[in-house]
Chains A and B, each alone.
Chain A
Amino acid sequence: MSESPKDLRLWRLPRGRHGLPRELVERSQRERLLAAVVRVSAAKGYEATSVADILEEAGVGRESFYELFDDKQACMLAARLLLVEDLADKVEAAYTGGGPWAERMREALAAALNWFAADQVAGKVLMLELAAMGPISRGVFQEEFGRFTSLVDAGLDDDGPQPEVPRATVLAVGAVFARIYDEVARGRTEELPAMLPELTYEVLVPFVGEAAAREQEQRAAAS
């Protein structure tokens, strides 16, 4: 799916007979429900969110909800997939944009930081509220972590460095995740883009050592 989270805007179909194709109606309802579960979970927490809350926020009827989703959890999981795929698309576009590997890595990092800074609600849901789903959230984390390490690995093979530390990719993704998590938890995601230089250094050190990582840090600060 290509919609960015901000495209999940609330719009209502005309009431009564409107002659719109069923497919379009369902798609609109689905988008509104996904946007609603994200907004309501961010505002009052996933646990406290009821299907009724989601329906009210989305302006969709109960019957339509259950035609599209089995339950609240299914709706939340669908919303998370949409968000994560949007984030991964942005990161991948930056990472595969051309240029030397260290610079592409810096660009990918900037894309991730900007994404979280631009959408506080989405960040809160991905980082904090998914975990409230209970044991299933462990599999979700595992899947997303794997998605981003594979993404970084896939871009390493052509001109990437021979990492000086085994499993440097995991360390890199771990650093980004840890920093973003901290800032989301503190409600300070707007400060993430300013952390690009420091985080560029932290991410690159295991791959290229301190001197080369410092150089990229300075370039990030100048850009």
Chain B
Amino acid sequence: MRKQGGSESARNVLDPTLPIDLSARQQRQRIVDAMIASVAEKTYSGTTISDIVRRAAVSRTTFYKRFGDKRSCFDAALQHSVETLWAAASAAIERGDSAPQAIHKAIAATLDLLAAEPGLAHLVMGEAVNVEPSAFGRYRNELVPQVQALWESNGGERGELRSDPQLAFGRAQVLIFNKISAGQTAELPQLLPEIVYLVLLPFGGHDVAVRQSRLAERRDLGAPGNVAA
């Protein structure tokens, strides 16, 4: 929301700045949401601008005003999706969580959100790499340091990495993509034990990863503050 000079009450109700700004943003978001929904149903290559404008109930002109082309709309949708997922993951963590617990909770929240929003799941885990093979590598590069920081800020040991975290994320993506391809997006939370294992492996090592993965299998978070040694 753009703040104009003057107080709230002094703003002329006929001043079009606010409504236009708002509607531009709403239009953008509606178009992004339409892109996400269409990609889930018919993949990126099967999605046309007509599909998007129909779903978003905007005109073609509006589409081209907000986004130059299909690809830049997709990029915006991807950015939005990754941010939404990361926000859900971070929000799940509580003070006092041990490092394995924090990562466990973050993954559980991510999988729950992906299961609840199949469009997000298709876009981030499947289509992004089809549109641009290096896309996943790009956001993985951003994500790995964030997860490592999460591990360390919750008291996780800072040491040499025990396996390649980039590969761990790649593996997790393959597992998730495999479930999605089978039309089992709603069952993504079942992957929690495997993904907890994969993500903890580089930072905590095999034994820590196995222990937390077994807790995940029982839908148990482990005792609070119990930093696995």
Could you tell me which A residues sit within 8 Å of B by CB distance? Answer: 47, 128, 131-135, 137-139, 141-142, 145, 164-167, 170-171, 173-175, 177-179, 181-182, 184-186, 198, 201-202, 205-206, 209-210
B178 touches A141 (CB 8 A): yes
* Cβ contact of B217, chosen from A132, A135, A139, A166, cutoff 8 A: A166
Given contacts A142-B182, A174-B174, A185-B134, contact A134 B206 (CB under 8 A): no
Chain B contact residues: over half helix, strand or loop, or mixed?
helix
A201-B171 CB under 8 A given contacts A134-B42, A135-B42, A141-B181 = no
Q: Is B152 an interface residue (CB 8 A)?
A: no
State whether A205 touches B163 (Cβ < 8 A): yes
Measured between beta carbons, the chain B residues less than 8 angstroms from A181 are 129, 133, 170, 174
Contacts of B93 in A (CB 8 A): none
- Chain B residues within 8 Å of A, Cβ to Cβ: 42-43, 45-46, 126, 129-130, 133-134, 137, 162-164, 167, 170-175, 177-178, 180-183, 193-194, 197-198, 201, 205-207, 209-210, 213, 217
Q: Across the interface, which residues of B come within 8 angstroms of A178, CB to CB?
A: 167, 170-171, 173-174
Rounded to whole angstroms, the CA-CA distance of A134 and B180 in the bound complex is 14
Are B137 and A182 touching (Cβ within 8 A)? Answer: yes
**Bound-state Cα–Cα, A185 to B217, Å:** 34
Q: Would you mind naming 25 contact pairs between A and B with Cβ atoms under 8 Å apart?
A: A47-B45, A133-B45, A134-B42, A134-B46, A135-B46, A137-B43, A137-B130, A165-B197, A165-B213, A170-B175, A170-B178, A173-B174, A174-B174, A174-B178, A175-B167, A178-B167, A178-B174, A182-B137, A185-B137, A186-B134, A202-B164, A202-B167, A205-B163, A206-B197, A206-B206
Interchain nearest-CB distance for B101 vs A (Å): 19
Decide if A141 touches B46 in the complex (CB within 8 Å). no
Q: How far is the CA of A198 from the CA of B206 in the complex (A)?
A: 16
Smallest beta-carbon distance B142→chain A, Å: 16
User: Which chain A positions have C-beta within 8 A of B210?
Assistant: 164-165
Other than A138-B126, A138-B183, A170-B194, give 19 A-B pairs with Cβ distance below 8 A. A134-B46, A135-B46, A138-B180, A139-B181, A142-B181, A145-B174, A145-B181, A166-B213, A171-B194, A173-B174, A174-B170, A175-B167, A175-B171, A178-B173, A181-B129, A182-B170, A205-B206, A210-B162, A210-B205
